[in-house]
Structure 1
Amino acid sequence: MGQGAAPRHMRAYDGELGAAVARAQQGDEAAFAVAYRLVQPGLLGYLRGLVGDDAEDVASDAWLEIARDLGRFQGDGAGFRGWTATIARHRALDHLRRQRARPRPAVLEQDVLDLPGPHSTHDQALEALSTEHALELVRGLPRDQAEAVLLRVVVGLDGPAAARVLGKRPGAVRTAAYRGLKRLAGRLGAESVTDEAPRTLGE
């Protein structure tokens, strides 16, 4: 997967998604159900990374807004994923504010822009992100890194689309995603070593 491209499995669905959205905008309820089926898994994974066990409730609120404002949307399947992610993010941040658990301020980490891309590390992290445990690890990342990883990997947005959702420059989102995947892979690797050879107390 290139730095700016959406994952192949996401791109494969975008044609079907775009067609379903267009029909749904004409009042086709079955088509809206198709769009929901294609988008919901990634959206729910993104929200789990932001609000944990409250993801289902926040997703419900987001879909109510998506359905209400569907007629205003203009774009293709990839654009729809970005639009729905933006709505879901707003609902998640509202939820966090209500809980008085504000997101940590983002930290721009320019130092990794000059580092080579760790393809094996990246692939390891992507494969593991299908698990609930990995989503919990993502929640432990700095907020900017967690959101960048979730939008790029779980929702499947390309770099510019993820940047639009977050209101940041693509370079900053690319940096945050790189650092987040690197940290995630490191934690997964450390857990694997710990599981295979537990250290004795005092080591």
Structure 2
Amino acid sequence: MELSDDVVRDAAAGDPLATRQVYEALSPRVLGYLRSRGVEDPEGCTSEVFLALVPRLAGVDGGAAGLRTLAFSVAHARVVDDARRRARRPHVLAYEPEHDDRTSESAEQHAVTSVEAERAVRLMQRLGEDQRAVVSLRVVGDLTLEETAQVLGKTVPSVKQLQRRGLERLRELMVAPEVP
């Protein structure tokens, strides 16, 4: 679902249907970005992003593009928070969704957890931090170069360079035999 300026304007005015459309349009990409960055609880973090985003809808400038930039700025801040939080606390056992019978897998979760998606996420983890952030925001988040630069606090030329190098490295990793 593509987000329009009209929907953003209506959501900013408090229209609950438009707010739902904003969520439905942005949440899959935000979730994908959070997963690609290795956030411990990407679904919960996606909820946090939208809990922070909805009260700020009235102040969004730039229509759909501005809202997308804001959403990924908030998501990126949550990625940083998650990394800091994990660095401060001792390692705990990993959550294993295949052993959790409390929920059923959605179609989106099934697609994301496919073998190729898992491999792509593993390969993304082998990129440098800045390259991984840029590739995730550009490919998964579908942000423009300018929006990505704004989210990460970098210049557009540095984002271009990071993206080029990150994608080159991913290509190399994709054709290389996988090391266990």
TM-score over 0.5 (shorter chain): yes
What secondary structure is seen at the aligned counterpart in 2 of 1:100?
helix
Q: For residues 61 and 146 of structure 1, what CA distance do their matches in structure 2 show?
A: 22
Letter in structure 2 aligned against 1:138 = M
1:186 equivalent in structure 2: 172
- 5 Å-filtered alignment, 1:14-163, equals 14=3, 16=4, 18-100=5-87, 131-163=117-149
Aligned residues: 152
Q: Is the 8 A contact 1:39 1:81 kept in 2?
A: yes
Task: Give the 5 Å matches for 1:3-18.
Answer: 13-14=2-3, 16=4, 18=5
CA distance in 1, matches of 2:82, 2:55: 19
Report the 3-state secondary structure (helix = DSSP H, G, I; strand = E; otherwise coil) of the residue aligned with 2:176. helix
1:132-178 superposed Cα distances (whole Å, 9 cap, x missing partner): 43123212210000011011111111111110110001111111111
Within 2, Cα distance between the matches of 1:46 and 1:21?
Answer: 21
TM-score, normalised by the number of residues in structure 1? 0.69
Report deviation, 1:58.
1.3
Q: Which structure 2 segments of 5+ residues have no match?
A: 89-115
Q: 3-state SS of the aligned residue for 2:87?
A: coil
TM (norm. structure 2) is 0.77
Question: Is this contact kept in 2: 1:163–1:170, CA < 8 A?
Answer: yes
2-structure distance, mates of 1:40, 1:133? 22
SS at match of 1:140: coil
- What's the secondary structure of 2:41's corresponding residue? helix
Amino acid corresponding to residue 144 of structure 1 in structure 2: D
Once the two structures are TM-superposed, the CA of residue 57 in structure 1 deviates from its matched residue by 1.6
Match of 1:104 in 2: none
State the alpha-carbon separation in 1 of the partners of residues 26 and 118 from structure 2. Answer: 18
Unaligned 5+ runs, structure 1: 1-11, 102-129, 196-203
- What secondary structure does 1:13 align onto? coil
Q: Distance in 2 between matches of 1:135 and 1:143?
A: 13
Of structures 1 and 2, the one with the larger relative CO (CA 8 A, separation 6+) is 1
Q: Which residue number corresponds to residue 123 of structure 1?
A: none
Decide whether the 8 Å contact of 1:43 with 1:85 is kept in 2: yes
Deviation beyond 6 Å, 4+ runs, structure 1: none
Aligned-pair CA distance for 1:131:
2.3
